[in-house]
């Protein structure tokens, strides 16, 4: 397992059903798109984005390793995570069955994970590093960054992404101190919309005003 710092392992899944399948090629295309987007949008945030190589994005079955240790399927079941601490470079691991449920699931999950990539590359932008910050802030900021990425897409795609983001929300009451909390469907949609409407900078400057707690 990984060392425990605030950003090392961020599990971001749920187990709701999807509406179709996405392939590894589609996931590679999503990764390319996210790399292209953030290579431009980094100007808004005042840092130099470093694209994540495709070989650092994969599944346990791909033989993906972190500091020479294989990623185990159970670490990533029904989920995806970003680990910036691996000696090989930043690692984005995902469960192909989970992402394969639908294209919207694959896109929404990867766009959220890329929020964690941004936080890893520019720690001063990570609002959970604020003295009053909580792990849930990092999760909702990742949804916000996903919304910023979604803004350039067609209206119907944006709606599918928003719906999938909400579906991955926590059920019932959310304890905002819980290190595993991601936010209710409403919290997650609100964060997504801040990025959608305001762009990436809003996820650093304005998002705190909409966060729970
Ligand atoms: Zn997350």
What is the distance in A from the centroid of ligand 1 to the CA of 82? 8
What is the distance in A from the centroid of ligand 1 to the CA of 92? 11
Cα gap 170→182, rounded to integer Å: 6
Residue-level pLDDT at 51: 98
What is the distance in A from the centroid of ligand 1 to the CA of 154? 24
Closest CA to 199 of 10, 46, 27: 46
Cα gap 63→124, rounded to integer Å: 32
What is the distance in A from the centroid of ligand 1 to the CA of 147? 14
Cα gap 120→132, rounded to integer Å: 19
Per-residue pLDDT reduced to its tens digit, 54-87 = 999 999 998 999 999 999 999 999 999 999 999 9
Spans of the chain below 70 pLDDT:
1-22, 212-213
Sequence-separated (6 or more) residues with CB below 8 Å from residue 164: 102, 104, 105, 107, 108, 109
Residue-level pLDDT at 13: 55
Q: Alpha helix locations (H) across the chain? A: 24-45, 96-99, 103-121, 135-150, 155-167, 185-198, 202-205
Domain boundaries along the sequence of the chain? 24-210
Query: Which contiguous run of DSSP H or E holds residue 57?
Result: strand 57-58
What is the distance in A from the centroid of ligand 1 to the CA of 139? 5
Residue-level pLDDT at 11: 54
Residue-level pLDDT at 5: 38
What is the distance in A from the centroid of ligand 1 to the CA of 12? 4
What is the distance in A from the centroid of ligand 1 to the CA of 118? 12
Asked if residue 161 lies in contact with residue 138, where contact means CB atoms within 8 angstroms, the answer is: no
Per-residue pLDDT reduced to its tens digit, 27-37 = 999 999 999 99
Residue-level pLDDT at 154: 94
Asked if residue 9 lies in contact with residue 92, where contact means CB atoms within 8 angstroms, the answer is: no
What is the distance in A from the centroid of ligand 1 to the CA of 6? 12
């Amino acid at each position: 397992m990984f060392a425990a710092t605030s950003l090392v392992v961020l599990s971001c899944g749920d187990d709701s059903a999807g509406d179709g399948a996405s392939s590894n090629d589609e996931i590679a295309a999503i990764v390319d798109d996210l790399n292209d987007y953030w290579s431009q949008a980094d100007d808004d945030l005042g840092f130099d984005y470093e694209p994540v190589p495709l070989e650092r994005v994969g599944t346990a079955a791909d033989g993906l390793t972190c500091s020479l240790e294989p990623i185990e399927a159970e670490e990533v079941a029904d989920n995806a995570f970003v680990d910036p601490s691996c000696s090989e470079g930043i690692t984005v691991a995902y469960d192909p069955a989970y992402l394969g449920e639908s294209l919207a699931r694959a896109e929404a999950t990867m766009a959220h994970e890329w929020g964690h990539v941004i936080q890893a590359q520019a720690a001063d932008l990570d609002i959970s590093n604020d003295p009053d910050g909580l792990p849930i802030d990092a999760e909702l900021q990742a949804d916000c960054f996903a919304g910023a990425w979604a803004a350039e897409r067609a209206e119907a795609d944006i709606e599918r992404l928003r719906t999938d983001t909400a579906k991955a929300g926590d059920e019932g009451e959310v304890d905002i101190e819980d290190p595993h909390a991601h936010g209710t469907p409403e919290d997650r949609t609100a964060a997504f919309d801040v990025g959608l409407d305001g762009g990436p900078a809003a996820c650093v400057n304005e998002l705190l005003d909409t966060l729970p707690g």
